[in-house]
Amino acid sequence: MIDVYVSDTAHQTHRTRRLRHVKDYNPEDDSEFWINKAQSVLSAKLARKAITGPAKNVIMFLGDGFSIPTLAAARAYLGQSQGAPGEETELSFEEFPNTGLSKTYCVDSQVADSACSATAYLSGVKANIGTAGVTGRVKVDDCAAMRNTSNQVSSILKWSQDAGKSTGVVTTTRITHASPSGTYAHIANRDWENDAEVRNSGQDPDICDDIAEQLVNRIPGKNIKVSICRYEEYIIL
Protein backbone atom coordinates (compact mmCIF):
# COMPACT_ATOMS: atom_id res chain seq x y z
CA MET A 1 0.00 0.00 0.00
CA ILE A 2 1.26 3.46 -0.89
CA ASP A 3 0.35 6.28 1.45
CA VAL A 4 -0.32 9.59 -0.33
CA TYR A 5 -0.47 12.77 1.68
CA VAL A 6 -2.42 15.65 0.22
CA SER A 7 -2.48 19.00 1.94
CA ASP A 8 -6.02 20.04 2.80
CA THR A 9 -5.21 23.71 3.26
CA ALA A 10 -6.53 24.85 -0.11
CA HIS A 11 -9.63 22.66 0.17
CA GLN A 12 -10.40 24.02 3.61
CA THR A 13 -10.04 27.58 2.32
CA HIS A 14 -12.56 26.92 -0.43
CA ARG A 15 -15.00 25.35 2.01
CA THR A 16 -14.67 28.23 4.43
CA ARG A 17 -15.41 30.80 1.72
CA ARG A 18 -18.56 29.00 0.64
CA LEU A 19 -19.77 28.15 4.15
CA ARG A 20 -19.94 31.84 4.95
CA HIS A 21 -23.05 31.93 2.76
CA VAL A 22 -24.69 28.84 4.28
CA LYS A 23 -27.44 29.43 6.83
CA ASP A 24 -28.65 27.04 9.54
CA TYR A 25 -30.67 25.15 6.96
CA ASN A 26 -29.16 24.65 3.53
CA PRO A 27 -31.52 23.06 0.96
CA GLU A 28 -28.52 22.08 -1.16
CA ASP A 29 -27.73 19.42 1.45
CA ASP A 30 -30.80 17.40 0.45
CA SER A 31 -30.95 15.25 -2.68
CA GLU A 32 -34.52 16.36 -3.32
CA PHE A 33 -33.30 19.90 -3.96
CA TRP A 34 -31.15 18.82 -6.89
CA ILE A 35 -33.68 16.34 -8.29
CA ASN A 36 -36.50 18.89 -8.17
CA LYS A 37 -34.28 21.54 -9.72
CA ALA A 38 -33.33 19.23 -12.60
CA GLN A 39 -36.95 18.21 -13.19
CA SER A 40 -38.02 21.85 -13.18
CA VAL A 41 -35.45 22.75 -15.83
CA LEU A 42 -36.35 19.74 -17.99
CA SER A 43 -40.07 20.50 -17.74
CA ALA A 44 -39.51 24.11 -18.78
CA LYS A 45 -37.38 23.03 -21.75
CA LEU A 46 -39.94 20.47 -22.93
CA ALA A 47 -42.83 22.91 -22.57
CA ARG A 48 -41.13 25.60 -24.64
CA LYS A 49 -42.58 25.97 -28.10
CA ALA A 50 -40.16 26.19 -30.99
CA ILE A 51 -39.96 29.50 -32.85
CA THR A 52 -40.72 28.71 -36.48
CA GLY A 53 -41.00 32.21 -37.93
CA PRO A 54 -38.15 34.08 -39.61
CA ALA A 55 -35.79 36.01 -37.35
CA LYS A 56 -36.09 39.78 -37.52
CA ASN A 57 -32.51 40.42 -36.39
CA VAL A 58 -29.35 38.40 -35.83
CA ILE A 59 -26.76 39.64 -33.34
CA MET A 60 -23.45 37.84 -32.89
CA PHE A 61 -21.84 38.83 -29.59
CA LEU A 62 -18.22 37.82 -29.06
CA GLY A 63 -16.30 37.99 -25.82
CA ASP A 64 -12.68 37.61 -26.86
CA GLY A 65 -11.11 34.58 -25.19
CA PHE A 66 -14.49 33.31 -24.01
CA SER A 67 -14.16 29.76 -22.70
CA ILE A 68 -15.81 27.41 -20.22
CA PRO A 69 -13.41 28.43 -17.39
CA THR A 70 -14.14 32.09 -18.20
CA LEU A 71 -17.88 31.43 -17.84
CA ALA A 72 -17.33 29.65 -14.53
CA ALA A 73 -15.30 32.59 -13.21
CA ALA A 74 -17.94 35.08 -14.41
CA ARG A 75 -20.73 33.15 -12.68
CA ALA A 76 -18.82 32.99 -9.41
CA TYR A 77 -17.87 36.67 -9.52
CA LEU A 78 -21.39 37.82 -10.37
CA GLY A 79 -23.03 35.68 -7.73
CA GLN A 80 -20.58 36.58 -4.99
CA SER A 81 -20.86 40.28 -5.80
CA GLN A 82 -24.59 39.89 -5.07
CA GLY A 83 -24.01 38.12 -1.77
CA ALA A 84 -24.59 34.57 -3.04
CA PRO A 85 -22.12 31.65 -3.15
CA GLY A 86 -21.72 32.25 -6.88
CA GLU A 87 -21.54 28.89 -8.60
CA GLU A 88 -25.30 28.59 -8.94
CA THR A 89 -25.62 31.94 -10.71
CA GLU A 90 -26.80 31.95 -14.33
CA LEU A 91 -25.54 34.49 -16.83
CA SER A 92 -28.15 36.16 -19.00
CA PHE A 93 -27.34 34.26 -22.18
CA GLU A 94 -27.37 30.94 -20.33
CA GLU A 95 -31.12 31.40 -20.03
CA PHE A 96 -31.54 31.36 -23.82
CA PRO A 97 -33.71 28.45 -25.06
CA ASN A 98 -30.85 27.00 -27.10
CA THR A 99 -27.12 27.05 -26.49
CA GLY A 100 -24.15 25.22 -27.96
CA LEU A 101 -20.38 24.98 -28.14
CA SER A 102 -17.99 25.52 -31.04
CA LYS A 103 -14.49 24.17 -31.49
CA THR A 104 -11.99 27.00 -31.98
CA TYR A 105 -8.82 25.82 -33.64
CA CYS A 106 -6.97 26.66 -36.83
CA VAL A 107 -6.13 24.36 -39.71
CA ASP A 108 -2.46 24.56 -38.71
CA SER A 109 -2.76 25.30 -34.99
CA GLN A 110 -4.57 23.76 -32.04
CA VAL A 111 -4.73 27.14 -30.32
CA ALA A 112 -6.71 29.63 -32.38
CA ASP A 113 -6.00 33.33 -32.72
CA SER A 114 -8.68 35.97 -33.32
CA ALA A 115 -8.24 35.88 -37.10
CA CYS A 116 -8.75 32.21 -37.90
CA SER A 117 -11.40 31.82 -35.18
CA ALA A 118 -13.33 34.82 -36.58
CA THR A 119 -13.25 33.12 -39.96
CA ALA A 120 -14.60 29.92 -38.39
CA TYR A 121 -17.56 31.32 -36.50
CA LEU A 122 -18.47 33.93 -39.12
CA SER A 123 -18.14 31.79 -42.25
CA GLY A 124 -18.09 28.18 -41.03
CA VAL A 125 -14.66 27.57 -42.61
CA LYS A 126 -11.46 27.07 -40.65
CA ALA A 127 -8.28 28.81 -41.82
CA ASN A 128 -4.60 29.09 -40.95
CA ILE A 129 -3.56 31.01 -37.88
CA GLY A 130 -3.02 34.71 -38.63
CA THR A 131 -5.36 34.77 -41.65
CA ALA A 132 -8.96 35.94 -41.95
CA GLY A 133 -11.72 35.47 -44.50
CA VAL A 134 -9.78 32.88 -46.49
CA THR A 135 -9.41 29.11 -46.65
CA GLY A 136 -6.56 26.97 -45.39
CA ARG A 137 -4.93 27.25 -48.83
CA VAL A 138 -3.79 30.74 -47.88
CA LYS A 139 -0.63 30.77 -45.78
CA VAL A 140 0.52 33.79 -43.79
CA ASP A 141 1.89 36.55 -46.07
CA ASP A 142 0.79 34.70 -49.24
CA CYS A 143 -0.61 37.65 -51.16
CA ALA A 144 -1.17 35.74 -54.40
CA ALA A 145 -3.25 33.05 -52.68
CA MET A 146 -5.18 35.73 -50.80
CA ARG A 147 -6.12 37.48 -54.05
CA ASN A 148 -7.40 34.22 -55.57
CA THR A 149 -11.16 34.51 -55.17
CA SER A 150 -11.54 30.74 -54.94
CA ASN A 151 -9.63 30.94 -51.65
CA GLN A 152 -11.89 33.65 -50.22
CA VAL A 153 -14.87 32.84 -48.00
CA SER A 154 -17.96 34.91 -47.27
CA SER A 155 -19.13 35.70 -43.77
CA ILE A 156 -22.62 35.87 -42.28
CA LEU A 157 -22.39 39.65 -42.78
CA LYS A 158 -22.06 39.17 -46.54
CA TRP A 159 -24.86 36.61 -46.56
CA SER A 160 -27.08 39.11 -44.76
CA GLN A 161 -26.28 41.85 -47.26
CA ASP A 162 -27.08 39.48 -50.12
CA ALA A 163 -30.45 38.86 -48.44
CA GLY A 164 -31.16 42.60 -48.43
CA LYS A 165 -30.46 43.11 -44.72
CA SER A 166 -28.69 46.05 -43.11
CA THR A 167 -25.45 45.13 -41.37
CA GLY A 168 -23.15 46.66 -38.79
CA VAL A 169 -20.02 45.99 -36.78
CA VAL A 170 -19.47 47.34 -33.26
CA THR A 171 -16.21 46.62 -31.48
CA THR A 172 -14.17 47.71 -28.47
CA THR A 173 -10.97 47.34 -30.47
CA ARG A 174 -9.87 48.73 -33.84
CA ILE A 175 -12.38 48.15 -36.62
CA THR A 176 -9.47 46.70 -38.65
CA HIS A 177 -8.47 44.30 -35.87
CA ALA A 178 -8.58 40.55 -36.45
CA SER A 179 -11.98 39.79 -34.89
CA PRO A 180 -14.07 42.48 -36.64
CA SER A 181 -12.11 42.14 -39.90
CA GLY A 182 -13.42 38.59 -40.23
CA THR A 183 -16.79 40.04 -41.19
CA TYR A 184 -15.58 41.78 -44.34
CA ALA A 185 -11.88 41.19 -45.17
CA HIS A 186 -9.95 38.49 -47.02
CA ILE A 187 -6.42 38.82 -45.69
CA ALA A 188 -3.26 36.71 -45.54
CA ASN A 189 -1.90 38.49 -42.48
CA ARG A 190 -4.01 39.91 -39.68
CA ASP A 191 -1.36 42.62 -39.16
CA TRP A 192 -1.99 44.07 -42.60
CA GLU A 193 -4.35 46.67 -41.16
CA ASN A 194 -2.90 49.44 -43.34
CA ASP A 195 -0.62 49.82 -46.35
CA ALA A 196 2.42 50.56 -44.17
CA GLU A 197 2.14 47.13 -42.53
CA VAL A 198 1.84 45.47 -45.93
CA ARG A 199 4.97 47.27 -47.07
CA ASN A 200 6.84 46.38 -43.87
CA SER A 201 6.27 42.70 -44.57
CA GLY A 202 7.88 43.01 -48.00
CA GLN A 203 4.66 43.06 -50.01
CA ASP A 204 3.31 45.62 -52.46
CA PRO A 205 0.31 47.50 -50.96
CA ASP A 206 -0.87 48.37 -54.49
CA ILE A 207 -1.35 44.64 -55.08
CA CYS A 208 -2.19 43.37 -51.59
CA ASP A 209 -5.12 45.44 -50.39
CA ASP A 210 -4.87 46.00 -46.64
CA ILE A 211 -7.79 45.51 -44.25
CA ALA A 212 -8.68 49.21 -44.04
CA GLU A 213 -8.81 49.49 -47.82
CA GLN A 214 -11.05 46.45 -48.06
CA LEU A 215 -13.37 47.98 -45.48
CA VAL A 216 -13.71 51.24 -47.39
CA ASN A 217 -13.53 50.15 -51.03
CA ARG A 218 -14.65 46.54 -51.25
CA ILE A 219 -17.85 44.60 -50.81
CA PRO A 220 -19.08 43.79 -48.21
CA GLY A 221 -17.08 46.33 -46.19
CA LYS A 222 -18.24 49.43 -48.02
CA ASN A 223 -21.89 48.35 -47.69
CA ILE A 224 -21.79 48.15 -43.88
CA LYS A 225 -24.37 50.60 -42.51
CA VAL A 226 -22.97 50.93 -38.97
CA SER A 227 -19.29 50.71 -38.10
CA ILE A 228 -18.32 51.69 -34.56
CA CYS A 229 -15.12 51.11 -32.65
CA ARG A 230 -13.99 52.26 -29.24
CA TYR A 231 -10.27 51.83 -28.93
CA GLU A 232 -7.99 53.55 -26.47
CA GLU A 233 -4.23 53.36 -26.11
CA TYR A 234 -2.53 54.29 -22.89
CA ILE A 235 1.12 55.36 -22.89
CA ILE A 236 2.88 55.18 -19.53
CA LEU A 237 5.77 57.63 -19.26
Q: Which of 212, 163, 170, 172 is nearest to 191 (CA)?
A: 212
Confirm or deny that 154 is annotated as ligand binding.
no
Give the C-alpha separation, 121 to 167, whole Å: 17
Confirm or deny that 29 is annotated as ligand binding.
no
CA angle (148 as vertex; 206, 215 as ends), nearest 5: 55
Q: Which amino acid is at 172?
A: T
Confirm or deny that 177 is annotated as ligand binding.
yes
Cβ atoms of residues 171 and 177 within 8 Å:
yes
State the catalytic residue, choosing from 7, 114, 117, 227: 114
The per-residue DSSP string of 61-88 comes to ---TT--HHHHHHHHHHHHHHTTS-STT
Q: Which of 100, 99, 129 is nearest to 117 (CA)?
A: 129
Residue 155 annotated among the catalytic residues of the structure: no
Q: Which residues contact 199 (CB under 8 A, 6 or more apart)?
A: 205
33 phi, psi to nearest 5 deg: -60, -50
Binding-site members for Zn(2+) are: 64
Binding-site members for Mg(2+) are: 64, 177, 179
Which residues are annotated as catalytic? 114
